[in-house]
């Protein structure tokens, strides 16, 4: 997306940003994934866990990074996964 969207309610120009996904190792850019979430089966870097992490299985090649725009007036978010 090359043009900055405007808020459909306030008609203000929105601010570009992203939604950080915080992990034990730092923050990542959130991604979109097709299909229903499926439990990853309780492994963390290949080690069996009691699955307290509630991680879901992902196929890296099918993910898309999420860009999110925020209205400075009302806070509405519009997200795009290209
Ligand atoms: Zn707004």
Q: For 7-45, how does the pLDDT look when each residue is reduced to its tens digit (9 = 90+)?
A: 999 999 999 999 998 888 899 999 999 999 888 776 656
Distance 82 CA to ligand 1 centre (A): 23
**What pLDDT, on the 0 to 100 scale, is given for residue 36?**
93
Instruction: Check pLDDT > 70 for residue 53.
Output: no
Query: Mean pLDDT, the chain, as a whole number?
Result: 88
Cα–Cα distance for residue pair 68/77, rounded to 1 Å:
6
Residues sharing a CB contact under 8 Å with residue 39, sequence separation 6 or more, in sequence order: 51, 54, 55, 56, 57
Distance 5 CA to ligand 1 centre (A): 11
Cβ–Cβ under 8 Å, residues 57 and 4: no
**What pLDDT, on the 0 to 100 scale, is given for residue 47?**
65
The encoded tokens of residue 76 equal 């509405």
Cβ–Cβ under 8 Å, residues 70 and 15: yes
Distance 25 CA to ligand 1 centre (A): 34
């Amino acid at each position: 997306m090359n043009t900055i969207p405007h808020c459909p309610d306030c008609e203000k120009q929105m601010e570009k940003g992203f939604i950080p996904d915080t992990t034990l190792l730092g923050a990542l850019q959130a991604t979109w994934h097709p299909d229903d979430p499926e439990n990853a089966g309780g492994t963390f870097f290949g080690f069996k866990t009691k699955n307290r992490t509630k991680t879901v299985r992902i196929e890296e090649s099918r993910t898309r990074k999420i860009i999110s725009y925020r209205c400075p007036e009302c806070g509405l978010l519009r997200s795009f996964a290209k």
